[in-house]
Structure 1
Amino acid sequence: MSYKYGRFTPNKTHGTVEKVPRFDASDIRSGGGSILLLNTTHIYEYSIIDDDIYFYDTSGLLAKTSIESMVNASGIHHFFVCSCCGKRFRYLYLVGKKLVCRKCGRLNYHSQQKFDDYLDYYRQGMQFAYERLKWECDYPVPFEFPEYTPPRPKGMHRTTYIRLMKKFRWYQQKYKNGMQEEFERIMQEISKGKYYE
């Protein structure tokens, strides 16, 4: 079963990672080379000088940031350093002329911008339960949604289940908060005599 989300109002203060070029440090090889960015069809050249990595497009230097490397049993692993917060990340995003992490770039996922009212949390929460927790619930009732606890799917590790349930509880809490706010709004309107006109 799947749910259609219907209309939604995007978050005007944030961009989405799906629409911004993403650099993946795992694609970087020592010295230099070229890289195909996620969310684009462009191939960028890069070079590594000391602890800095430079990316180029056809017009010249596109952006630069620092890069750190670590060695373990599986080989050499590279990490980018966000040019804003200075923290280490596998992924950085090209925002303007800077390579930044998702937080510094004020980016979130498209799915995070799909909530128009509290019922959208119910719809997406139920879809999450069906798709990720393999929950077969024949009669999902919105009013009872905050009390639902999907059982752990057969073969799923306990740590995975706990992680997914944390996300599911987030949907439940958002829905519950929205439902409470709607109830309070209706009660206020009743107290003002709106529903008796």
Structure 2
Amino acid sequence: MSENEHNRLTKIYTRTGDKGTTSLGGGTRVPKTHARIEAIGSVDELNAWMGMLICELKDCQILRHKLQKPLEFIQHRLFDVGGELAMPGYQLIRQEFVTYLEEVLDEFNEGLPPLKNFILPGGSRLACHCHMVRTVSRRAERRVIAAKEAGEEINAPLLQFLNRLSDLMFVLGRVTARQSGGEVLWQQSEKTKVE
């Protein structure tokens, strides 16, 4: 490790953001409310929730051996998503990562019965963590789309990755709930017509 690499993160505060701006990877300064920064922040939050899910998985021996590697892979790729968003003009998320998520999704979905009703986030702590990752993934996807609609260049595999991730987390929410108590089915209120 070179001296520069060793000292990269030794100073945590720089005071450069005190006036409400921050730097992208190439050094361009933008407002902290910039659409790209909003997307990066949502992906960072998503990665934190993924870390919580991975920690929660340690208490579930039944699924740990099947889920540990895929979830750790996803967490590393989420850091890449943030990096790609921070460096306009570069690509870190590749189509093969999207394909991998689809393969994992298909594997876990295969054993599930078809849904006949909506399910609620619940059934177990692990299932709830899956649903938290799912919902924050959807928000991160919306923030990336908003950045794209604001004129930011966004690579297609990055958006596809976030979309597939939320689908995968829905399936894993079902799988984990069924491992410990069962899925919580939505009980619809009686409909009344508004006059």
Q: TM-score, normalised by structure 1?
A: 0.27
Is the strand fraction higher in 1 or 2?
1
Is the helix fraction higher in 1 or 2?
2
| Structure with greater contact order relative to length (CA < 8 Å, sep ≥ 6) | 2
Larger radius of gyration between Structure 1 and Structure 2? 1
